[in-house]
Amino acid sequence: MKKNLHIAVIAAILVCGCATNPITGKQSLNFVSNSELFPTSFQQYNAFIAENKVITGTAEARQVDVVGGKIRAAAEKYLNYLGQTQYLKDYRWEYKLVDNKEINAWCLPGGKIVVYSGILPVTQNEAGLATVMGHEVSHALANHGAQRMSAAQLQQIGGVALDAATSNKSAETRSLFSQAYGIGTEVGVMLPFSRSNESEADKIGLTLMAIAGYNPDDAITFWSRMSAKGGASGTPEFMSTHPSDATRIANLKSLVPQAKETALKVGLIR
C-alpha cells in the first residue's frame, strides 16, 4: 500500500508540475514560478556583484553592454513574434563584465548576465560574445534553472519513496538500492537532462544572435575556438553536464539555416 501511495504522489506531482514554455513550445517539469524564483535570483546576483570586481569604462565593458542590449532586443522581438508580448515583463535586464580569469559567463533567471573577463580572448569579437550571451540568456528564457531545481526535487522525492518501499529490507540491501538509484538517476536522467538543456540553449541562442544581426555561422567558429582551448573536459559525454564539443558543433551546423530563416521572419514583423 505504501509503495502504491508513493507512486501515486509522484504521478500527481508530475502532472501538476508540467508547464508549457512559450519560447520552446514544449511541456517541461517546473514546480517553481518566476514570481518565486526571480527575487531570490536578483538577491544572489546583487550579492555576487557586491563581492566581485566589476569592470567599467573600458572598450570590453562597453562591448558587453552593447551586445547585451542587442540580445535583449532580439529576445523581445522573438517573443513578440511568438505572440508572447508579456513574457519578459518581470525581467530586470543587466549586463556586467567581471574581473575573473575563468573562461565563463552566466545568466540568472530574470535577465541578470555576467561575463567573466577570462572568456574575452576566446570570444574575440562581438559575434563571439553574442554567441555566449545569447546562449546564457536562452537558459533563462527557457526556464532551465527552474527545471533543474524541479528535477532535483523530484529526484529527492523518488529517493524518499524508494527508502519507504524498501523499509522491510536489511540495511545493507537498502544501501545498495539507494546507491543504485543515485547513480542510475544521475547518469540516466539528470545528466541527459542537463545536456538537453545545453543543446536547447544553443538552438535558441543561435536564433537570438541571428535576430540581433550577427551571423550564426560565427557561433561554430567560436565553439571551435572553445574546443581548442579545452572548453569541454575529457569526461565522456554520458558522464558530462554538457554535450561534447563535436556533438555541439555538429548540432549548431545543422541549426544555422533554421536560425537564419527565423531571423528573416522575425525581421518582417513590425
Domains and CATH numbers, the chain: 34-267 (3.40.390)
Note the pTM of the prediction, 2 decimals.
Answer: 0.74
CB 128 within 8 A of CB 215: no
User: CA Rg, the chain, in Å?
Assistant: 20
CB 136 within 8 A of CB 107: yes
Please count the other Cβ atoms lying within 10 Å of the Cβ belonging to residue 148: 18
Res 130: pLDDT: 97
Res 12: pLDDT: 44
Q: Given the DSSP bridges, would you call strands 18-20 and 94-98 parallel, antiparallel or unpaired?
A: unpaired
Catalytic residue among 94, 126, 136, 198: 136
Assess whether 136 carries a catalytic annotation.
yes
Q: Is the pLDDT of residue 126 over 90?
A: yes
Percent of the chain scoring above 70 in pLDDT: 64
Q: Which three cell numbers stand for residue 203?
A: 538552438
Percent of the chain scoring above 90 in pLDDT: 44
Q: Is the pLDDT of residue 216 over 80?
A: yes
Q: Assign 268 a pLDDT band (cuts: 50, 70, 90).
A: low
CA 98 to CA 56: how far, in whole Å? 9
CB 67 within 8 A of CB 133: yes
**For the chain, what's the residue count?**
270
Please count the other Cβ atoms lying within 10 Å of the Cβ belonging to residue 233: 10
18 - beta bridge partners? 29
Res 142: pLDDT: 83
Q: Assign 23 a pLDDT band (cuts: 50, 70, 90).
A: confident
In the chain, what is the straight-line distance between the N-terminal and C-terminal CA atoms, in Å?
Answer: 59
